[in-house]
Amino acid sequence: MSDVVPSEKNLTPALNFNVEEVRRDFPIFTQEIYGHPLTFLDTAASAQKPNCVIEAIKDCYSNEYANIHRGGYFLSQALTAKYEEARKTVQNHIGAQSEKEIIFVRGATEAINLIAQTWGRKNLKAADEIILSQMEHHSNIVPWQMLKDEKEFTLTVSPIDDRGNFLFDDYEKLLSEKTKLVAITHISNALGTITPLKEIIKAAHKVGALVVVDGCQALPHMEIDVVDLDADFYVFSGHKVYGPTGVGVLYGKQELLNEMPPYQGGGDMIRSVTFEKTTFNDLPHKFEAGTPHIVGGIGLGVAIDYLKSLGFKNIHDHERALLNYALEKITTVEGVELRGRADHMAGILSFTMKAAHPHDIGTILDQDGIAVRTGHHCAQPVMDFMDIPATARASIGLYNTKDDIDRLIDGLHKVNRIFA
């Protein structure tokens, strides 16, 4: 997606994608908020759930539930097969070479902490360096800071410009033999910037550094091939991919995962236990201690199948048209300043208004049934860089329409009238 000036071609609905039919897959859109249609523009925080995911969760608890792995009876074996099939769905979707490279976790936050506390604790030393970008989510900053306090390595920030572009030339100059890890977002949750990920990874590998990718904002909007990217680690959360909360994925190259110690101890991650010694299970179970979020994993697999049934090109084209339409329309609102206008953008509009604080903007929009996110979006360093405390953020999902954008714009005009 880009922020180019929209043309009539840009605004043409994607072929084979009927957004009104898609919206009927999401029961939440049958309700009104304060007497107004629900206009949900906060998909970057968490996506709404289609009926197929809701029904899969309900059916699992109603008709199929048992604890998985090691159960010798029908229900346990059947649900184990379904859970592991979901793992293969994820594997195939992101192009991983083996299901052993797919670790189910609670979300991207846990995945990054797992990498920091296993690979990082084992491999990083005081003379080493990690490079982060200026626009990382706190979940891709704080785990490394916590480890830095213990290991005393250097954290270096790769800059962005005032439009939110990742400055690749500056990043390349930072890389050195001291650089052991680059932790980078695929798409900024605060600005919508799409980073030049393949080039970032290639440059890091030239100096022998590994790359951890926060893919939370990318998975819902584009096809991902971790082998083509050559990503060492790629993480995402299920709830942002139209799946359940409480489940996510850590992809890691098998040779790296094999060398990493377990993150937690308990059931399922062991091969044998005595009071003298424990031997650990094979991948992926070595990193999945205890009873997993069984229904969450299955629901995530269903969500991915749903997205694939719609077609990622259709989703991309639909969301790009809406983004371009929104970029055109928002310029008609007096006093709006976009806080992300990178050359390559996903469907995120982060903005401020001269007339009102972002929290006031969000409150007024909510009165008309319009849901946007306000605050620092767990990206305070971005706000500090722009010298602002917060933004209002409208983010686009596959179920959004031009009417949603029009209602947002009308709401922003209303903000100006109230604070005039």
Task: State the pLDDT at residue 6.
Answer: 31
C-alpha to C-alpha distance for 153 and 178, rounded to whole angstroms = 10
Q: What sign has the CA pseudo-torsion 159, 165, 169, 172?
A: positive
Q: Read off the pLDDT of each residue in 135-160 and give the average, rounded to a whole number.
A: 97
Paired sense of beta strands 210-214 and 233-237, if any = parallel
C-alpha to C-alpha distance for 285 and 270, rounded to whole angstroms = 8
Domain ranges of the chain: 8-48+311-419, 54-308
Task: State the pLDDT at residue 11.
Answer: 36
User: 332: exposed, middle or buried (C-beta count within 10 Å: 0-12, 13-18, 19+)?
Assistant: exposed
Q: Are 213 and 361 contacting, i.e. CB atoms less than 8 angstroms apart?
A: no
> H/E element holding 322?
helix 312-330
Q: What proportion of the chain, given as a percentage, has pLDDT over 70?
A: 96
C-alpha to C-alpha distance for 182 and 250, rounded to whole angstroms = 16
CA-based nearest residue to 37, from 329, 333, 403, 392: 403
The single residue of 52, 60, 216, 378 carrying the catalytic annotation is: 378
The rounded mean pLDDT for the chain is 95
| pLDDT band, residue 5 (cuts 50/70/90) | very low
C-alpha to C-alpha distance for 394 and 371, rounded to whole angstroms = 8
Write out the CATH class of domain 54-308. alpha beta
Superfamily of domain 8-48+311-419: Aspartate Aminotransferase, domain 1 (3.90.1150.10)
Task: State the pLDDT at residue 70.
Answer: 84
For the question of residue 60 being annotated catalytic, the response is no
pTM: 0.94
Q: Is the pLDDT assigned to residue 244 strictly greater than 90?
A: yes
Amino acid at 374: T
Q: Is the pLDDT assigned to residue 414 strictly greater than 50?
A: yes
